[in-house]
Every structure is written in structure tokens, then in C-alpha cells.
Amino acid sequence: MSRTGYYQYNMRTVVHSAVGGIIRLPSLFEGLGGKRVLLISDAGLKAVGIVDQIVRVFEANKAGTNAELVGVHAEITPDAGCEAVNKCLAHAREVAADAILAVGGGSVLDAAKGVKYGLHHNVMDFKTVIPGGIKIDTWPAVQPIPIPHIAVPTTAGTGAEVSSAAVFFNEDAGIKINLAVPFIDADMAVLDANLTVGLPPSLTASTGMDAMTHALEAVASPGSNHFTDAHGILAAQLIEQNLTKAVENGKDIDARHSMLQASTMAINAFINALGAIPVHNCAHAFGALYHVPHGDANAALLPVVIEALPEFYLPNAKRLAKALNMDVLGDDQAVLTAVIAKLRDFQEKIGCATNFSKWGAKSEDMEQIIMAISSDPAALFYPIPPDRIQKIAEAMIG
């Protein structure tokens, strides 16, 4: 049941949603006061031409706006490594950038937040920002960051284009670290489904399940409220209706556009209902241990974690069923059993990962897995008992 007492709901980022919407980028930066824009992306998007497509948009608008592209940094690594953030910080200072344009998936969008934070606070080594694994600041101690920042997602999954949290990989410590600070989120997000058309089926599936996990963890969270339900439940319903279509036909622009919007809504619900997030707790740990991509981790874990922790999910069984467009009769246990079956059937339909065997997860690492899940910062919200962790890990080892 969602809360109706006091809660705070934030959505600072202005969303521009339109197929072909990237053409507005130069004028949007001008409106934000950005003049020297650094484009942040990754090598994969450079290789497939998306980075060059953005560059051409700015070249075509040279005479029309005062915002110019002064640099392209397409070197962000998977998991948004701290070293990659440091290199991008150095590049931003070298070209005297006063604005940030992030184009990519979750790693790129999160790395850009790290760059924004680093520029504002004059950080030289990003690893020093989060020494304990998680840094949470709040308003009014934290005030707006005057660096124009636009995010353009190229996957429908993380929703990082609108969230004020980011996950990085600390190479020295070998762990995922979390930054949750007001105003590191983008000022604007441009949702252009054209940029997701070339996404292969496997990545479409895994990123879509990442968004589904955000939506369902928001619905099940003790911190849920009517506002988060509005976004979380509708997001899950849209994903259930459109993800299979997008996987089967990557050129289905309506399905792609719906998925982008669902992804944005899902993370907004997730962040604003943030509390117990056992699926993400496990996903962070397996990601750090075996470098399982975050979307694949959530995709495989979602029904397994729900099944392993019935006492946590049972009170919200009917709400989860509603979010999955299910009309199920019976008591909470019967409904939750049907929800788990629905998710497993959905996994099969979209062909996503169901275990981590291909990433080298093995039973010999059980003690290390239990420790990683127990010590992940997300475990502070809801510690998973060791015997349940073992049950989850056994299923994931395959």
C-alpha cells in the first residue's frame, strides 16, 4: 500500500519527447545559457554514427545559436569507471567547457553527472568523492549547479537522464559506488526514439528489463506513494505492452517511443520511492564481481528475488499484478505466484538473461557473493538474510 502521509516528490528535469527531437539541442542549450558544450559519449555510439549525428546537428545550427560544440569525449567505459570520469573531467577543463551534453546509455549519463559534480566542486580525482561506497547529500545544504546539462538516452532502460543519483565503478576498491545528490541530474532530457532504433534485440531486452525492475521496485517499496505509483505502475504496464514489440521489430518506432517514456517514468518512481531495493542490491553485487551488465543483472534477478523474499513482496502482490496488466483472483500468495510466473514467461518472450553462467558466476564463489550482497550500500535499506542470498545465488549460477 502506498503512503499518503508526508513525502517529498522531485522531478526537476524538463523532458522533451519527440521523434527527431535532437534537432532542438543547440537552441535548448542557448536557452539554458550554455555556450561551450562538451559532448560526452562512448566508443560504441561513435562507431555506429550516433555521435557524428549529434555533431552534424550542431554544425547545421552554427549560424542560428550561440551554443557551439567545443569537444567530443567518446571514451566513457561500461559501469562509468572513476578513471573514465577523471579523463573526461580533464578534457572538459582543457576545452573550457561550460555545458555538458550526455548522449548514451546509463554509464554515459551517470559519468556525465560525475563530470558535472567534479567541475562544480573542483574535483581532481573522482574516487575521493565517495570513499565509503555511497554519498548522499540533501537540499538546502546542496544548492543548484550552474552548469547547463542536457541528457539524451540511447537506450530505454536506466532512466538516468532524469535521476539525481548515479552509480560508478571504483577500480581501486573493485566495487560499485553511489552518488545521490540534488542537482546532478540534467536540466533537460531529450527523448528521441530514432536513436534507439539500431539497438540490437538482446540490448533492447536487457535495458527494458532494467526499466521494468525500476518500476516494480518502486511499486513494492515501503516508500511508495500516489505520485510514484502513477509513474511506476503505468511505466510497468507500458513495458509489458511494448518491450516484446521492440525486441521483435526494432524499427517499431511507436514501441520504441513508448519504451523511452516508460523508462523515464520508471526511474522517477524508483528514485522518489527509494527504500528497500533487494533486486538492485543483488544486481550491484553481481555486477561488481563478474561485470554483469546492469540491465542483464536486473533482468535475470527480478523473478528470482521476488520468489526468494515472499514476506517482502506479498503485501504488494495485487499492486504488482496490476502493474503487469494481470487480472488475477485469489489470496496474496496465489497472486504473487502468478506474478513470478508472468515475469518468467516475459523473460522467455524477450530472450533476456535468466542466470549469470555466461559471465563466470560459480558456486565456489558463494562466500564472496554473500559478502558482496550483504555489504552493498543498498543492503542498508533492507538486509537480505544470508540463507536467502544463497538461494538467489544458486539460481543465478545456473
Helix (H), strand (E), coil (C) string for 193-230: HHHHCCCCHHHHHHHHHHHHHHHHHHHHCCCCEHHHHH
Residue located via cell numbers 539524451: 152
pLDDT at 2: 65
Q: Cα separations (Å) of 390 from 294, 301, 374? A: 20, 13, 11
Residue-wise pLDDT for 87-103, tens only, equals: 999 999 999 999 999 99
Q: Which of 68, 155, 158, 71 is nearest to 113 (CA)?
A: 158
Q: What is the pLDDT of residue 131?
A: 84
State residue 78's pLDDT score.
87
For position 4, what pLDDT does the model report? 67
Quickly name the fold that domain 21-191 has. Answer: Rossmann fold (3.40.50)
pLDDT averages per 10-residue partition of the chain, 398 residues: 78 96 97 97 96 96 87 94 97 98 96 98 94 86 96 96 92 86 96 96 97 98 95 98 98 98 97 94 94 95 98 97 95 97 98 96 95 92 96 94
pLDDT of residue 398: 80
Edge-first strand listing for the sheet containing 134-136? 134-136, 175-180, 165-170
Q: Does domain 201-397 have CATH number 3.90.1150.10?
A: no
What dihedral angle (degrees, nearest 10) is formed by the CA atoms of 125, 126, 132, 133?
A: -150
Residue of 139, 94, 92, 137 lying closest to 111 (CA atoms): 92
Q: What is the pLDDT of residue 66?
A: 87
pLDDT in tens, 234-246: 999 999 999 999 9
| Predicted pLDDT at 1 | 58
Contact, 77 vs 44, CB < 8 A?
no
Note whether 21-191 and 201-397 share their fold: no
Domain boundary assignment for the chain: 21-191, 201-397
pLDDT tens-digit readout, 202-256: 999 999 999 999 999 999 999 999 999 999 999 999 999 999 999 999 999 999 9
CB atoms within 10 A of CB 6: 6
Question: H/E/C letters for each residue in the chain?
Answer: CCECCCCCCCCCCEEEECCCHHHHHHHHHHHHCCCEEEEECCHHHHHCCHHHHHHHHHHHCCCCCCCEEEEEECCCCCCCEHHHHHHHHHHHHHCCCCEEEEEECHHHHHHHHHHHHHHHCCCCCHHHHCCCCEEECCCCCCCCCCCCEEEEECCCCCCCCCCCEEEEEECCCCEEEEEECCCCCCCEEEECHHHHCCCCHHHHHHHHHHHHHHHHHHHHCCCCEHHHHHHHHHHHHHHHHHHHHHHHCCCCHHHHHHHHHHHHHHHHHHHHCCCCCHHHHHHHHHHHHHCCCHHHHHHHHHHHHHHHCHHHHHHHHHHHHHHCCCCCCCCHHHHHHHHHHHHHHHHHHHCCCCCCHHHCCCHHHHHHHHHHHHHCHHHHCCCCCHHHHHHHHHHHHC
